[in-house]
Amino acid sequence: MASVLVVEDDQFVRSALIRHLTDASHTVRSVGTALEALREVAHFRFDVVILDLGLPDLDGSEALKMLRGITDVPVIIATARDDEAEIVRLLNDGADDYLTKPFSVEHLSARMTAVLRRSGTGSTTDAPVTRVIEVGGLSIDPLRRQATLDNTPLDLTRREFDLLAFLAGRPGVVVPRKELLAEVWQQSYGDDQTIDVHLSWLRRKLGETAAQPRYLHTLRGVGVKLEPPQ
């Protein structure tokens, strides 16, 4: 069971979410503004935050950036906006997933289960890798969830670390996008843009670009591989 923070100003939607989550044996706290959400996260530990974008005091996208400044708790965006560019921006700003309103409680439950499974296991395989992975100047410790590049610590989000560790555990192997979605995102289907956003984010921290890759190589229409610089 999980500790959930619901950030939603619509009292009807908020009450429905609280009722459903409580019935599912989750512990729920709820607030109606972004500032209240920041206070809650600063004082309590949550397993997941469900964040509405249309808040009265601050747009949820700005609240997301502020949340990411103080915590890496998984955040599921609940939004009536379906603009693709905005969704990509939200993922780039640190959202773990998003739902477009209206959505069913079953859909929310499925997304929550996937997010909690990823954050709870801390691993993307059934048998967690315990050895330190070395690929070129990269060193990845799955147990401590720490990564360094040329002995410099990398500041990675949970998803970035999982993606890097999964690819580094298969150096030189081209991993299909479908497999990345299944193993890293725990989803049988999804949008390739989710992978592209996180790859771009990870490349930036590795000091490379898609045009001039060092470790992460994308094979158009095939997949992604990680291998040391030549």
Same fold, 3-121 and 133-226: no
Whose CA is closest to 1, among 88, 100, 120? 120
Question: What band does 189 get if pLDDT is binned at 50, 70 and 90?
Answer: low
Mean pLDDT of all residues in the chain?
A: 85
Q: What are the pLDDT digits (tens) for 149-161?
A: 999 999 998 888 9
At CA 27, angle to CA 117 and CA 92, rounded to 5?
45
CATH superfamily, domain 3-121, is Response regulator (3.40.50.2300)
CA distance 50 to 5: 6
Whose CA is closest to 55, among 39, 35, 73, 71? 35
Q: Which residues pair with 28 in a beta bridge?
A: 4
Sign of CA dihedral 178, 201, 109, 116: positive
Question: What band does 120 get if pLDDT is binned at 50, 70 and 90?
Answer: low
User: Is 0.75 topped by the overall pTM?
Assistant: no
CA distance 198 to 112: 20
Model pLDDT, residue 191: 64
Question: What band does 190 get if pLDDT is binned at 50, 70 and 90?
Answer: low
Residue 125 has pLDDT above 60, yes or no: no
Residue 204 has pLDDT above 90, yes or no: yes
CB atoms within 10 A of CB 133: 19
Model pLDDT, residue 214: 94
Model pLDDT, residue 119: 67
Instruction: Classify domain 133-226 at the CATH topology level.
Output: Arc Repressor Mutant, subunit A (1.10.10)
Q: Which of 35-39, 57-61, 113-117 has the highest mean pLDDT?
A: 35-39
Model pLDDT, residue 129: 42
Average pLDDT over residues 176-187: 81
Model pLDDT, residue 5: 94
Model pLDDT, residue 121: 37
Q: Tell me which DSSP letter residue 51 carries.
A: E
Beta strands in 40-195 (DSSP E): 48-52, 75-79, 97-100, 133-135, 138-141, 146-149, 152-153, 175-176
Please report, for the chain, the start and end positions of each structural domain, with discontinuous segments joined by +: 3-121, 133-226
Question: What band does 72 get if pLDDT is binned at 50, 70 and 90?
Answer: confident
CA distance 90 to 189: 19
Model pLDDT, residue 143: 75
| Continuous segment of H or E residues that includes residue 193 | helix 192-206
